[in-house]
Amino acid sequence: MNFKQKISLIVVVIALAVMPEFSVLSAFAQAQPTNVGDALPAAVNSFVLQLKDGNDQIFSNDLNVKNVEHVFLNTVAPQFKNTVRLNTTYSQSAFQSKYGYDLVYLDVEHLVSIGAIQISAGPSVNDPGFSSDPNDVDRQWGLYKAHFVDAWSQVPSGNNVVVAEIDTGVDATHEDLSSGQVLRGYNFITKSLIDPAQNSDDNGHGTLIAGVIAATQNNFRGIAGASWNSSIMPLKALDDKGSGNSADVASAIVYAADHGAGVINMSLGGLGFSNDTTLSNAIRYAYNKGVVIVSAAGNDVATTGGNLDTSPVFPVCNDNGENMVIGVAASDVNDQKASFSNYGKACVDVSAPGKRILSTINHDPVTHLPTVNGYAYASGTSLATPFVAAEAAMIKATYPSLNNGQIRNRILKSADSIDQLNTNGCNNQSCAGLIGSGRINALKALDPALIFDTIINEGDLVRDTSTNFVYYISGGKRQLVSPFVLSQRFSSTSIKDVDPSAFSNFPLGSYALPNQNTVVKSQSSPTVYMIVDGIKRPLTYQVFVQRNITVVNTLFDTELASWITGQFLPPVEGTIVRAHSGKTLYWVIDGLLHPINYAFWVDRGLVGRQILVIPDLDLQSYPSGTAFIK
């Protein structure tokens, strides 16, 4: 059958999930509020916070606080008790000043979305898209390329694994998703249950992802899911535009962990990495309950260059320093990194088929209206991620006694290296070490002969007896330890001497990080960084002097390049700043530079403070906040 009929472009704004196949589409849409309530009089900030005693009535008489609601409604876990979200005209510092005594923590609520996606027409209703040819891009080439078809016979029947899909919902009435594989779920936008036979997808992206994982096999129509005997738990945290917020995603992660999910698929993400306490806590909670967490690397090459080490996104980079999230890049039919796919040593663990993937859909790409029993091609790391989630489900079904760290390690260890095929795909340079341990291989991941050496364990410091190189085992990877980090961070840690053959069980990751607040630079560049929460943040000369830094450690170029780069470290909290050529003053509050006017400057008693004058270009590099005007 000829599958070359095309349907025009559809843009699904979902977090870092799907990227245009032939052109660069628009950036992410802004999330729309789902519960606006009474309008606030000025610019609104959205915060997520935890109250010490749960008394949210402290806000009831404050006209500057609206839409107070609890985030985690479906869990009894004590660490999520009294977590609320709200809208307010207060700045973060003003809110902290007024209510700080009642708070455990206070976070800005971040936006997430799904990314641009190009979709073309798929096969007719009763025509199979399955093919045994791994080069047939008009059918399901990815199943053979990643060896799922060979692996199916290795999975015992009856061991059903639940994959929680945090997305736009799933159309359980679709002909390829209506065989009972879609379970009861939850809609975090409407705060209501999703029935097993319900169409909860008002966007189409979630149905695309569900088809890759669990479309019904051998029903003489459509496609076959990669892990077709798995179940899908639809958790709708993204709206009909494919947009949402980190609080709903965090709540969905906890819901999945509390309701029997073995795997979580997140084909979503948010630009502008930030330390989101609520999301980090949720990821840690689910990981500690044994859930395998998989997330898209994103499709930001056109806007940021795609290097997650320098332009990180979340949740794929929200690993809590322990590789709790399996980051997935997209590859094409030739095992080359898809041109749109992000990459990076610190956040990407594996690659998977993600270009021109045939799957189920329930929205017409032209009219954006609902359509019945549709199929389409789509490209993006969103489509690569469910292949890895399906692989994790198959491993868990085959080896139910394995924990999530062991399942992650099997996925990384069994991947086929594709570095040699990607010599210039990462900013015109080699992708070696930047697209994970390789393209996934489901058959090798299920091989009982894939036995891991028990001599080396997570958290060990080991020395290669053939080279004397020292490695730190973290997150299923081995991190090279430089002489400086060895003496500074691991001076009292015992080292195991091992044969290099033992290292084959652990893919090479980034270099091991030095201690918090260490100031470093590379051998070839004058740029100075401070290590803050696992990220290296650049320092301008003025901030360097202001913070009275006296010791800078010079490290290897490759060492620094392997660590995630964040935004410029701002001046000390409370500093007044202006540019050399400008008259506008900025007040540093909560790490952000807020423009202020003369009346505000006088009213707040800031007139006598020393003003830090910095170059115009440096000013543009600091994270900015809303204007404070009186």
Q: Within 13 A of 360's CA, how many CA atoms are on the CB side?
A: 32
| 140/376 Cα distance (integer angstroms) | 11
Nearest 10 degrees: CA dihedral of 567, 569, 575, 576? -40
List Cα–Cα distances, 485 to 200, 520, 526, 532, 556, in angstroms. 50, 11, 20, 15, 11
Q: What is the largest CA-CA distance in the chain?
A: 78
Which is catalytic among the residues 167, 276, 300, 460? 167
Q: Which helix (H) or strand (E) holds 519?
A: strand 519-522
Which is catalytic among the residues 174, 205, 363, 594? 205
Which is catalytic among the residues 246, 311, 382, 414? 382
Strand order across the 592-596 sheet: 592-596, 585-589, 576-579, 611-614
Cα 54–38–66 angle (5° rounding)?
20
Q: Choose among 351, 272, 355: nearest CA to 315.
A: 272
List Cα–Cα distances, 352 to 148, 161, 264, 379, in angstroms. 12, 20, 16, 12
Q: Which helix (H) or strand (E) holds 253?
A: helix 246-258
- Ranges of beta strands (E only) in 153-298 are 162-167, 185-187, 192-194, 231-236, 243-245, 263-266, 270-271, 292-296
Q: Choose among 359, 387, 441, 505: nearest CA to 154.
A: 441
Q: Is 603 a catalytic residue?
A: no
Interaxial angle between packed helices 381-398 and 404-414, expressed in degrees from 0 to 180 and rounded to the nearest 10: 120
| 541/424 Cα distance (integer angstroms) | 35
Q: Is 205 a catalytic residue?
A: yes
Report DSSP letters for 410-435, one per residue: HHHHHSBP-GGG-SSTBTTB--TTTB
Q: Is 70 a catalytic residue?
A: no
| Catalytically annotated residues | 167, 205, 382
